[in-house]
Amino acid sequence: MAFDPDAGDAAEAVRFPAPWPRRFGTANVSPDGGTAVFAGVHAVRCVDAAGATRWEVRHGCSSGECPLIHASFDEYAADDEHAYPDSGSAAVSADGKLVWAHVRGPFADDGEEADDDELWLVIDAADGRVLGRAATGTVASGSFHTPHPDPAQMGLSIGEGEEGSPALWGTGTGAPCRHGRSTTRRFCRW
């Protein structure tokens, strides 16, 4: 559910039907409140308030050692091996034109050379086209995006349990990335 706190009326709230149960992913609402992006175990999906899918980007399964690229949540909904999956995340840029997503590879069209590296994607929010991607070099149990007022920039924190919590900063401008502490890595291309 999303609502504008400045509107003053909870009746203005918009509810987005989730494509899978909450524990199987994260959600982020676009700045205009028209769509929500769900990052799940097998896909990143953009839906409107009626629950209609605008687009979907399927990716490698985030649950343990599962090597599959699932077509739907129903394939693993009752599977005990998928009961407590790791998760990525997704966030919509400040202008609503891009979706940044942290997912596990591969993609169905990656071919035989594909591996299960984690990837940071830049997706066109209008049609779901992947505009760019880079391997993160991580093994996440979860992640969280931090939007920037500049829509071409995004931060990403990745929780790897006891191994660490790297932070990445991305920009799509082609300009050098600014980064802070040594635990921050840069992602400057798409």
pLDDT digits (tens, 9 = 90+) for 67-79: 888 999 999 889 8
Q: What is the pTM of this model?
A: 0.83
Please state whether beta strands 184-187 and 167-171 pair in parallel, antiparallel, or not at all (unpaired). parallel
Residue corresponding to tokens 């896909």 = 43
What 3-state class would DSSP assign to 89?
Answer: strand
**CB-based contacts of 82: which residues, under 8 Å, 6+ apart?**
41, 61, 63, 64, 66, 76
| Interval 37-53: pLDDT, tens | 999 999 999 999 888 99
Q: Is 4 exposed, middle or buried (0-12, 13-18, 19+ CB in 10 A)?
A: exposed
User: Is the predicted pLDDT of residue 171 greater than 90, yes or no?
Assistant: no
**Could you tell me which residues come within 8 angstroms of residue 20 by beta carbon, excluding any fewer than 6 positions away?**
38, 40, 41, 73, 77
